[in-house]
Amino acid sequence: MKIACVFLLVALVPLASSRLHINNGHFVLNGQRVFLSGGNLPWMSYGYDFGDGQWQRNKDRIEPQFKKLHEAGGNSMRFWIHMQGETTPAFNDQGFVIGPDKQGTMLDDMKDMLDTAKKYNILVFPCLWNAAVNQDSHNRLNGLIKDPHKLQSYLDKALKPMVNHVKGHPALGGWDLMNEPEGMMIPDVHNESSCYDTTALKNSGAGWAEKKYLYKDMLRFFNWQAAAIKTTDSGALVTMGVWNPKSNTDHFNMNNHYSDFCLRKAGGRQKGVFDFYQFHSYSWQGKWDEVAPFTHKASDYGLHKPIVVGEFWEQDGGGMDIIEMFKYVYNNGYAGAWSWHLVQRGDNQRKGIAAIKDKTSNGKIPISL
């Protein structure tokens, strides 16, 4: 009996260490600290890449992007999945989710996408939803954010089955719940709780797509999804991409709306928190704002979790070229850099990825899955 127990422990150790996880504030894979270097491949056909047989039509265009990223020295990629519910998940006429997709290919699409990424040693971070534009003509995403019963239908009928189907896959880096929720947040709302008060976001640009949501509803949306993922897969990492650090720090006279406290306050589910944060950063009229990652070290935000700079590009790079941008992120304590985006400007961005591929001081970049 003792021999069997010892064997079991030895067998489990490699499995735990071979999956991306966080230890002492750093990403770790196969026992080594790693820096996430890569880019966004948000879509080939917006909202039509996965589910209902769509992946098989897009795979031949997407697989070369994995290969190019690997050859440039990158190790990770961010994908977009549902967007605003254009094709997935499957909804009924009342706005309740009835499955991952209509034709039943979504689960295997996700698995095959991860298998393909693994061939090239690329970690994938699926991004579920998008709030940077308002194309929710059927009010599907709106229903999930505002109606807890509809949200629970998504968790039960789509999210948990998806997570369970790819649970523990070595190419699954983590789950990204939404792209830039601030696009639809209502700024300048006073609330006694700093979690819900958006007065600090007045004239910040928040609400550019449409002023639709209060933080109380949006934070519940995140808390419940994160809890569902971690309940289904205890080793999963969860994040979300903010348009600007202004909504994700208590420094610089701002409020961190995405703290563990705020997420739990809004949704009540203990496991529903983020494992790492993700900042997006673009200059305006050639200049960075006062909280931009490219003018600060990661430690300046006081967050005590890894921070990935999840979107940036040379076009709005505050005068920096792509190589300077990748080097800045690597050298200033951030945990990862994902440029925007690999289809439109991949040749340019792969130059930045290649420029840091051999660095080791803030984590190694080449990985083996």
- Alpha-carbon distance of 279 to 283, in angstroms, equals 13
125 CB neighbour count, 10 Å cutoff: 25
Helix (H) or strand (E) holding 128: strand 123-130
Contacts with 37 (C-beta within 8 Å, 6 or more apart), sequence order: 73, 74, 75, 76, 326, 330, 336, 337, 353, 356, 357, 365
CA distance 193 to 198: 10
Cα R_g (the chain), whole angstroms: 20
Cβ count near 92 (within 10 Å): 10
Q: What is the DSSP letter of 23?
A: E
Active-site residues: which are they?
180, 311
Residue with tokens 């070595």: 170
Q: Give the whole-angstrom CA distance, residue 324 versus residue 356.
A: 10
Work out the angle at residue 262's Cα, subtended by the Cα atoms of residues 256 and 264, and round it to the nearest 5 degrees: 150
Calculate the CA 192 to chain-centre distance: 29
